[in-house]
Amino acid sequence: MREIVLCVNGVDYDVKIDATDTLVDVLREELGLIGTKIFCNEGECGACTVLLDGKPVLSCMMLAADAQGRDVTTIEGIADQQTGELDPIQESFVEKSGMQCGVCTPGMILTSKALLEDNPNPTEKAVREALSGNLCRCGNYQRITECVLDSAEKIRSRK
Amino acid sequence: MVNVEYLRPRTLNEVLSMLSKYGEEAKIIAGGTDLMVRLKQETASPDYLIAIESLQELNYIRYDEDGLRIGALTKFHDIANSSIVRDKFPILHQAVSVLGTPLIRRQATIGGNLCNASPCADTGPPLLVLGARVKICAAGEEKSIPVEDLFIGPGQTCLDQNEMLTEIHIPPQNEGSKGIYLKMTRSHGADLAIVSVAASVLMDGDIAEEAKIALGSVALTPIRARNAEKLLSGNRLDTQLLDKSAQSAAMEAKPIDDVRSSSDHRKKIIKALVGRAIKQAADLEI
């Protein structure tokens, strides 16, 4: 057991962890941030995706201890924390049926957020490739892709 | 998971002295994309985890007249996005672009991938045809060995308990040689290779001055198909010779039956992929 400080969605948390606790377990069990999902628990499905210093990582494959001194952003952290206004990608997912069961959705949104920061005007092919590590058991890939493209347009037009 | 102590060294020297001290009881963890699976399945149970993911001194891509040097902790995402790698060593660019998934590539490191020594590793065949070497360090020592000597079996490297792979060095390639990496998977999405082929050819007109072929997922380690190479080197490439060479490559492999494919199927794929790879590398329209 050791005590560490994790910075999640801009807030510092004191947590007690074992060396082998994964980041996703600590987020869900210790911090109650259950937006991040555990699905395959092996790094293959992307449901556990969070942003680490703005870059997507598989939180089920990361030691919580390795997240010390870094900024973790979960799905709970991308809406405006004051006003509750949704991130444009979240808006598109709501408006254009980007979710069915919702398990893959947080991962899809966060991976897309990182994609659109690197590439604000992706092709459909680029979106599908960027999301190829996020699996959707409901098979909603077509709509998810449309949501990402729609949100890209929104973000560009708001700039 | 098991009861483990987490150690976070700040320098390479600290890592090496921890390895000296703890040896067999310690495992290095970098990106974690292989080791975390084993820790969860309890097929690995170290007493100490030496966490080196943020060790910047081993995170680099450098190129000069001596060739390409990649630090062991460089992530595949950065290797795939490197214009140097894409322009000067395109076969490596091709391979790292299809390794794992975009998310795995953000986290996984080239050193970790090589030390995991999977016979299916996408890095294996390209590094073999590129003639890559790896730097291995221990407290007070360092040496360089061909990448081919690193792999000794499935999941096994030649590293001693106190040793660490720190750098991959790829020498400059012959001017005009062209490399192709082909990976056969069950689906278009992310998957381990059923068979993978790396081929590099240097053409002099329609004569293959030099040909190198390496295979992945079809033996205990990634392998060079040296008999297949000899059939091509110094000869004019035509359909018959390509067939013969591809057939030889299939015979040099020792593929197994597993969940992804059968030995027979793999042999057929080797034959098809080697032929295809050589044609593409040689820019042949036969």
Min Cα distance B118 → chain A (Å) is 17
Q: What is residue A109's predicted lDDT score, i.e. its pLDDT?
A: 98
pLDDT for B52-107, tens place per residue? 999 999 999 999 999 999 999 999 999 999 999 999 999 999 999 999 999 999 99
Q: Is A20 in contact with B4 (CB distance < 8 Å)?
A: yes
Min Cα distance A62 → chain B (Å) is 6
User: What does the alpha-carbon distance between residue B152 and residue A9 come to, in Å, rounded to a whole number?
Assistant: 45
Q: What is residue B138's predicted lDDT score, i.e. its pLDDT?
A: 97
pLDDT for B141-156, tens place per residue? 999 999 999 999 999 9
Give the nearest chain A residue to B101 (CA atoms).
Answer: A133
Q: What is residue B190's predicted lDDT score, i.e. its pLDDT?
A: 87
Q: Which residues of B touch A42 (CB under 8 A)?
A: 37, 40
- Residues B94-122 as b/e (b if ≥16 CB within 10 A, e otherwise) read bbbbbbbbbbbbbbbbbbbbbbbbbbbbb
pLDDT for B213-241, tens place per residue? 999 999 999 999 999 999 999 999 999 99
Q: Is B158 in contact with B221 (CB distance < 8 Å)?
A: no
User: What does the alpha-carbon distance between residue A59 and residue A74 come to, in Å, rounded to a whole number?
Assistant: 10
Percent residues over pLDDT 70 in chain B: 99
> Which two structure tokens, joined as six digits, stand for B164?
């660490």
Q: Is B268 in contact with B247 (CB distance < 8 Å)?
A: no
User: What does the alpha-carbon distance between residue B249 and residue B22 come to, in Å, rounded to a whole number?
Assistant: 42
Q: Which residues of A touch B2 (CB under 8 A)?
A: 20
Report helix, strand or coil for B187.
Answer: coil
Nearest residue to B102 via CA among A89, A57, A118? A57
Nearest residue to A18 via CA among A65, A62, A69? A65
> Which two structure tokens, joined as six digits, stand for B161?
């308990």
User: What does the alpha-carbon distance between residue B125 and residue B131 come to, in Å, rounded to a whole number?
Assistant: 10
Q: Is A143 in contact with A115 (CB distance < 8 Å)?
A: no
Whether residue A63 and residue B102 make contact (CB cut-off 8 A), yes or no, is no
> Which two structure tokens, joined as six digits, stand for A107?
């991962």
pLDDT for B159-178, tens place per residue? 999 999 999 999 999 999 99
> Which two structure tokens, joined as six digits, stand for B58?
């081993």
pLDDT for B198-215, tens place per residue? 999 999 998 999 999 999
pLDDT for A58-84, tens place per residue? 999 999 999 999 999 999 999 999 999
Of B8, B33, B51, the CB nearest to A43: B33
Q: What is residue B187's predicted lDDT score, i.e. its pLDDT?
A: 87
Nearest residue to B154 via CA among B255, B19, B48? B255
Q: What is residue B284's predicted lDDT score, i.e. its pLDDT?
A: 87
On whether any CB of chain A is under 8 Å from the CB of B9, the answer is no
Min Cα distance B108 → chain A (Å) is 10
In degrees, rounded to 5, the angle at the alpha carbon of residue B168 between the alpha carbons of residues B11 and A51 is: 60
Q: What is residue B1's predicted lDDT score, i.e. its pLDDT?
A: 56
Whether residue A133 and residue B107 make contact (CB cut-off 8 A), yes or no, is no
> Which two structure tokens, joined as six digits, stand for B84?
């140097």
What average pLDDT does the structure give for chain B?
Answer: 96
Q: What is residue A146's predicted lDDT score, i.e. its pLDDT?
A: 98
User: What does the alpha-carbon distance between residue B118 and residue B174 come to, in Å, rounded to a whole number?
Assistant: 29
In degrees, rounded to 5, the angle at the alpha carbon of residue B238 between the alpha carbons of residues B232 and B239 is: 105
On whether any CB of chain A is under 8 Å from the CB of B43, the answer is no
Please report which confidence band the pLDDT of residue B286 belongs to, taking 50, 70 and 90 as the band edges: confident
Min Cα distance B278 → chain A (Å) is 27
Of B39, B54, B103, the CB nearest to A46: B103
Q: Is B90 in contact with B79 (CB distance < 8 Å)?
A: no
Q: Which residues of B touch A55 (CB under 8 A)?
A: 106
ipTM associated with this complex? 0.95
Over 80: is that where the pLDDT of B2 sits? no
On whether any CB of chain A is under 8 Å from the CB of B44, the answer is no
User: What does the alpha-carbon distance between residue B274 and residue A143 come to, in Å, rounded to a whole number?
Assistant: 38
Place of tokens 């630090």: B71
Distance in angstroms between the alpha carbons of the first and the last residue of chain A:
47
B 76-105 residues inside an 8 A Cβ radius of A: 100-104
Q: What is residue A122's predicted lDDT score, i.e. its pLDDT?
A: 98
User: What does the alpha-carbon distance between residue A57 and residue B31 come to, in Å, rounded to a whole number?
Assistant: 10
Whether residue A20 and residue B2 make contact (CB cut-off 8 A), yes or no, is yes
Q: What is residue B223's predicted lDDT score, i.e. its pLDDT?
A: 98
Q: What is residue A50's predicted lDDT score, i.e. its pLDDT?
A: 98
Burial of B3 (0-12, 13-18, 19+ CB in 10 A): exposed
On whether any CB of chain A is under 8 Å from the CB of B190, the answer is yes
CA B139 and chain centroid, separation: 26
- Section B6-14 average pLDDT: 97
Sign for the CA dihedral angle at A125, A131, A135, A140 comes to negative
pLDDT for A86-108, tens place per residue? 999 999 999 999 999 999 999 99
Distance in angstroms between the alpha carbons of the first and the last residue of chain B:
56
Of B4, B53, B106, the CB nearest to A20: B4
Q: What is residue B189's predicted lDDT score, i.e. its pLDDT?
A: 80
Whether residue B5 and residue A65 make contact (CB cut-off 8 A), yes or no, is no
What average pLDDT does the structure give for chain A?
Answer: 97
HSE-up of B58 (CA within 13 Å, CB side)? 27
Residue B161 burial (CB count, 10 A)? 12
